[in-house]
Amino acid sequence: MAIEDRVDKARILIESLPYMRQFEGKTFVIKYGGHAMVEESLKVSFVKDVILMRQVGIKPVVVHGGGPQIGQTMSRMGLKPHFVDGLRVTDQDTVNVVEMVLAGKVNKDIVSLINLNGGRAVGLSGKDGHTIQARKRQHVRQGPDVQTPEIIDLGWVGDVEKIDTTLLDLLCQSTLIPVVAPVGVGDGGETYNINADTVAGALAVALKAEKLILLTDVIGVKDRNGELISELDKNAIQMLIQQQVVKGGMIPKVQTCVHARDGGVESTHIIDGRIEHALLLEVFTDKGVGTCVR
């Protein structure tokens, strides 16, 4: 390796040092999804970032999605997925698949990859320790193509009712990395499928996290010219939504960030998970790689 390359690496380490000091002992909640969960190089990049965070004293809590994996399993089982306003209608057969795929296959694959690369991870779902207490979601369908708003029964789709942090607190006090499947439990022990972004935001508030980081398949929040917006506040987000600059699937993500920020999370980030080591670049460099909501 040329001396110039080694000097560049040293500069990166020096740039990272103040952030390592600043965030030591802090909790970061990271929503893991999109291409970062599919492409092998990005999967390894992600887990190494998380392991390094834990090594320097940060307490990462990973919340993962798994929509494509659920769809693939349903297809193999002859079950046809049905969506309303982008939400998966979850009947009893579907919720069984959701729990099996998220809390089983996907969760344990992530845990195994972290452990294989030198970390120590533990997988759990929201049902473990009654961590994510859920209620049935009441979805009201609205929009320009709907003349009269109507309540749609989405089946076993839930919203977060309450978070019990007892189990996560114990794990975070150790050197273990919790990996959480976004499956909640109702009052009667029933299983609810919950949006992973929503779960991550609720956990960040309950854990009094320093940061909430959402990995996506876009560069972050963009302005009307398609350029990345590095920093936003609540008022700017509301304006961008009203102007339909922020729309579609980005709306619930920015709303999750605002909710977490209002709940006491110091900063929230929407970053491009297609970039190798996106987590480290966002957290440990001066410029970052995504959008920060302060």
Residue 17 lies in a domain: no
Q: pLDDT confidence of 254, banded at 50, 70, 90?
A: very high
Per-residue pLDDT tens over the stretch 62-76: 999 998 899 999 999
Residue 201 lies in a domain: yes
Q: What pLDDT shows up at residue 147? A: 63
Q: What pLDDT shows up at residue 4? A: 72
CB 277 within 8 A of CB 49: yes
Tell me 88's DSSP state: E
Tell me the C-alpha distance between 76 and 2, whole Å: 51
Tell me the C-alpha distance between 195 and 192, whole Å: 10
In this predicted structure, the answer to whether residue 165 has a pLDDT above a threshold of 80 is yes
Q: For residue 112, what is the domain's CATH number?
A: 3.40.1160.10
Residue 127 lies in a domain: yes
Residue 190 lies in a domain: yes
Average pLDDT over residues 152-176: 94
Residue 144 lies in a domain: yes
Per-residue pLDDT tens over the stretch 183-240: 999 999 999 999 999 999 999 999 999 999 999 998 999 999 989 999 999 899 999 9
* φ, ψ for residue 160, nearest 5 deg: -75, 125
Tell me the C-alpha distance between 135 and 116, whole Å: 36
CB 24 within 8 A of CB 60: no
Could you give the number of structural domains in the chain? Answer: 1
Residue 200 lies in a domain: yes
Residue 243 lies in a domain: no
Tell me the C-alpha distance between 292 and 149, whole Å: 34
- CA 231, distance to chain mean position in Å, is 19
Residue 188 lies in a domain: yes
Q: What pLDDT shows up at residue 143? A: 59
Record the tokens describing residue 149, joined without a space: 């708003």
Domain residues for the domain of 131 are: 45-209
Q: pLDDT confidence of 42, banded at 50, 70, 90?
A: very high
Hey, is 109 helix, strand or coil?
helix
